């Protein structure tokens, strides 16, 4: 059995930004947040391209957008957009079908 490549890895000499614990959505956990955000390399689950989730993007996601602290980036920007569009189309199709049932 072969060893698989890690999905995420901390790059050397990465940017570090201080974490503001008061703005985090830690959920129901006893875990402590880290002191810093740092750039994280990851492979997009859809296209397989290696990407960087920057410390700045993480700080925005966790502290400004209110993202759950234990969530992490798994898709590149273009694949996230495709997934958003796919979900929107699916909702639209579902609602159209639902309204057709109501008209019968």
Instruction: For residue 96, give both structure tokens.
Output: 């159209």
Q: What pLDDT, on a 0 to 100 scale, did the predictor assign at position 4? A: 56
pLDDT band at 15 (very low <50, low <70, confident <90, very high): confident
Kindly report, residue by residue over 20-69, the tens digit of the pLDDT. Answer: 999 999 988 888 888 999 999 999 999 999 999 999 999 999 999 999 99
Cα(62)–Cα(92) distance, integer angstroms:
29
Whole-prediction pTM: 0.72
CB atoms within 10 A of CB 48: 9
Average pLDDT, the chain: 87
Give the list of residues 6+ apart from residue 55 with CB closer than 8 angstroms, or none: 14, 15, 16, 17, 36, 37, 38, 39
């Amino acid at each position: 059995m072969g060893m698989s490549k890690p999905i995420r890895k901390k790059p050397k000499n990465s940017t570090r930004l201080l974490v503001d614990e008061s703005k985090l959505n830690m959920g129901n956990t006893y875990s402590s947040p880290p002191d810093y955000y740092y750039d994280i390399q990851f492979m997009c689950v859809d296209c397989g391209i290696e990407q960087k989730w920057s410390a700045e993007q993480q700080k925005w996601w966790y502290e400004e957008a209110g993202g759950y602290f234990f969530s992490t980036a798994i898709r590149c920007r273009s694949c996230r957009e495709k997934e958003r569009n796919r979900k929107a189309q699916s909702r639209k199709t579902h609602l159209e079908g639902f309204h057709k049932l109501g008209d019968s």
